[in-house]
Amino acid sequence: LSDVSIIDHHAHSLLKTSAPMAMERCQGFFSESGDPLVKQRDVPYSIMWQWGIRELAGYLGCEPTPEAVLAARNALSLVDLANGMWRDQNSEMLLIDYGFRGAENYTPEELGATFNQRVELVMRLETFAQDLILQHNTFSKMLDAFVAGVESARSTGHVSLKSIIAYRTGLDIQWRTRDEAERAFGEVKDQADREGSIRLASKPLCDYLVLAALEFANRQEMPIQFHTGFGDADVDLLKANPLNMRPLLQSDKFRNVPFVLLHAAYPYARELGYLAAMYPNVYMDLSLAIPFVTTLIPTIIHEALALTPMNKVLYSSDAFSIPEIFWLANRWGRAAIERVLGEIVDAGALTPAQARRAGEQILSGNSRAVYQLT
């Protein structure tokens, strides 16, 4: 599958920096933990770090030590490092959720103009709503602006919506009245005015806004990505189980919405595989599990393909900030997909031609279809 190009349908932008990378900061990108002690003390003992260093040393042509790898990557410009790594793994396109890290990163427009990747936009709903709550004094004005922004998403170049409601209030999204949402807005707005910033975590308001966005998405058949499963330390894994979404997925109200459930919902990969097999508009993404679950990546792919139709499984990296995470995810993801499909062929379940077609679909074809990419 080395000749099959990758459409990385869920990723984040690169940090805009020309400064040499320090060891401590580099280690931080190899863990989802926000705890400095984990990053400094524990990451060097993780498989993600130790395997990653050896892999990167092979690419950079240096000794397989953290110091040598860091020196070799710092000797390259960011543009040369990133373009080389994307070229090496035959990556052609990034769908960028630009609601992560903000001003520290290249904007999607800058990313596409500076690097060798085609860039498409993904709108993060909660970040968009936070900005509007700070800007508007009444619920009606905020809601009008939110609806207008979501309804114009396609015309402003977005190919998908994205929700991180799993982080904020959980995936058990409930129907809310306008009055409930308006009361919640008042409380959130008061806090935002006092503190000058906001992290939207009001369940009535989050539920109401996501459901409003889904109504639009259903009319325009626009995909929406949902964070599911593991992630940063502030996620409640019980509330991030995609089975919490079952009542929503069963509703005929959103039958036309392609739901792309992210991160293999790890550790709920089997649950997500079940949902993708049961509902025609549910898709299973493999990112974050690739690369962070390291040696279990083939197991995750086996669990996905055991039940989920092969036209419903999408590769992406969920990579962020530095080119190395993109490269490792693409390298390990492609290798694991090749390995698993080979094992399925050896078991007699697929022909080589069928396995080849499945690999093409997972790496790029399914994303091209779901997001209507031309």
C-beta separation of 160 from 224 below 8 A: yes
Q: For residue 184, what pLDDT is reported? A: 97
- For 236, the 3-state DSSP assignment is coil
Whether residue 106 is found in the same domain as residue 69: no
Q: Is residue 213 part of a domain?
A: yes
Nearest Cα residue to 271 out of 229, 310, 210, 232: 229
Write the DSSP assignment of 23-51 as a string of letters: HHHHHHTT-S---HHIIIIIGGGSHHHHH
Q: Is residue 23 part of a domain?
A: yes
Q: Is residue 6 part of a domain?
A: no
Q: Which helix (H) or strand (E) holds 91?
A: strand 91-97
Share of the chain above pLDDT 90, in %: 95
Q: For residue 360, what pLDDT is reported? A: 99
Q: For residue 17, what pLDDT is reported? A: 86
Whether residue 146 is found in the same domain as residue 277: yes
Whether residue 55 is found in the same domain as residue 168: no
Q: Is residue 131 part of a domain?
A: yes
- For 105, the 3-state DSSP assignment is strand
Q: For residue 99, what pLDDT is reported? A: 87
- For 350, the 3-state DSSP assignment is coil
Q: For residue 45, what pLDDT is reported? A: 98
Q: How many CB atoms sit inside 10 A of residue 15's CB?
A: 18
Residue 295 amino acid letter: T
Q: For residue 166, what pLDDT is reported? A: 98
Q: Is it the case that residue 102 has pLDDT exceeding 80?
A: no
C-beta separation of 301 from 337 below 8 A: yes
Write the DSSP assignment of 285-332 as a string of letters: E-EEHHHHTGGGHHHHHHHHHHHS-GGGEE------BSHHHHHHHHHH
Q: Is residue 2 part of a domain?
A: no
CATH code of the domain covering residue 298? 3.20.20.140
Q: What is the pLDDT of residues 192-230, one digit of tens each?
A: 999 988 999 999 999 999 999 999 999 999 999 999 999
Whether residue 166 is found in the same domain as residue 287: yes
Q: For residue 19, what pLDDT is reported? A: 85
Select from 50, 75, 100 the last residue of a domain. 75
CA-CA-CA-CA torsion sign (27, 56, 296, 166): positive
- For 94, the 3-state DSSP assignment is strand
Whether residue 215 is found in the same domain as residue 109: yes
Q: What is the pLDDT of residues 121-133, one digit of tens each?
A: 999 999 999 999 9
Q: For residue 149, what pLDDT is reported? A: 97
pTM for this prediction: 0.96
Q: Is residue 270 part of a domain?
A: yes
Mean pLDDT value across residues 93-102: 90
CA-to-CA distance for 172 and 203, rounded, in angstroms? 10
Q: What is the pLDDT of residues 310-332, one digit of tens each?
A: 999 999 999 999 999 999 999 99
Q: Is residue 174 part of a domain?
A: yes
Total of domains in the chain = 2
Whether residue 262 is found in the same domain as residue 316: yes
- For 121, the 3-state DSSP assignment is strand
Whether residue 82 is found in the same domain as residue 127: yes
Mean pLDDT value across residues 79-86: 98
Whether residue 133 is found in the same domain as residue 44: no
Q: Is residue 9 part of a domain?
A: no
Whether residue 172 is found in the same domain as residue 39: no
- For 89, the 3-state DSSP assignment is coil
Least confident of 15-19, 93-97, 162-166: 15-19
Residue 32 amino acid letter: E
Q: What is the pLDDT of residues 27-69, one digit of tens each?
A: 999 999 989 999 999 999 999 999 999 999 999 999 999 999 9
Q: What is the pLDDT of residues 268-301, one digit of tens each?
A: 999 999 999 999 999 999 999 999 999 999 999 9
Q: Is it the case that residue 357 has pLDDT exceeding 90?
A: yes
Place of tokens 């499945």: 358
Q: For residue 97, what pLDDT is reported? A: 97
Q: Is it the case that residue 101 has pLDDT exceeding 80?
A: no
Place of tokens 């009245």: 177
Q: For residue 103, what pLDDT is reported? A: 84
- As beta bridge partners, residue 15 has 105
- As beta bridge partners, residue 161 has 123, 224
Q: Which domain holds residue 279?
A: 76-370
Q: How many CB atoms sit inside 10 A of residue 339's CB?
A: 14
Q: What is the pLDDT of residues 227-267, one digit of tens each?
A: 999 998 889 999 999 999 999 999 999 999 999 999 999 99
Report long-range pairs for 246-249 (Cβ below 8 Å, ≥24 apart): 246/275, 248/173, 248/214, 249/275, 249/279, 249/281, 249/282
Whether residue 45 is found in the same domain as residue 127: no
CA-to-CA distance for 6 and 67, rounded, in angstroms? 30
Mean pLDDT over each residue of the chain, to the nearest integer: 97
Nearest Cα residue to 287 out of 219, 368, 225: 225
Select from 5, 40, 75 the last residue of a domain. 75
Whether residue 66 is found in the same domain as residue 169: no
Q: For residue 233, what pLDDT is reported? A: 86
CA-to-CA distance for 268 and 230, rounded, in angstroms? 9
Q: For residue 199, what pLDDT is reported? A: 94
Select from 60, 75, 90 the last residue of a domain. 75
Whether residue 70 is found in the same domain as residue 187: no
